[in-house]
């Protein structure tokens, strides 16, 4: 049986290298409410991921 050609990620997104890179702002420069919201969202994401791992999920993060 002939071998299938595989596509690399860079081939899937050829224009991504032409997009200028945006620098992430320093955490301290973010408004307080934005920091709180991001902290809550990250905590929720981590807790949900840990819960999925506890259930023996075969889904990768």
First to last CA, the chain: 33
Q: What is the CA radius of gyration of the chain?
A: 19
SS3 state of residue 36: helix
CA atoms within a 13 Å half-sphere pointing along the CA-CB vector of 24? 3
* Tens digit of each residue's pLDDT (9 = 90 or more) over 6-57: 666 656 666 656 666 778 889 999 999 999 999 999 999 999 998 877 776 5
pLDDT at 1: 58
pLDDT at 54: 72
**Contact call for residues 13 and 25 (beta carbons, < 8 A):** no
Q: Does the predicted model carry a pTM greater than 0.85?
A: no
**Contact call for residues 36 and 27 (beta carbons, < 8 A):** no
pLDDT at 23: 84
pLDDT at 52: 77
């Amino acid at each position: 049986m002939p071998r299938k050609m595989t596509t690399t990620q860079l081939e899937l997104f050829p224009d991504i290298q032409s997009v200028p890179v945006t620098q992430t702002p320093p955490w301290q420069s973010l408004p307080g409410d934005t920091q709180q919201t991001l902290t809550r969202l990250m905590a929720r994401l981590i807790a949900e991921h840990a819960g999925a791992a506890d259930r023996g999920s075969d889904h990768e993060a």
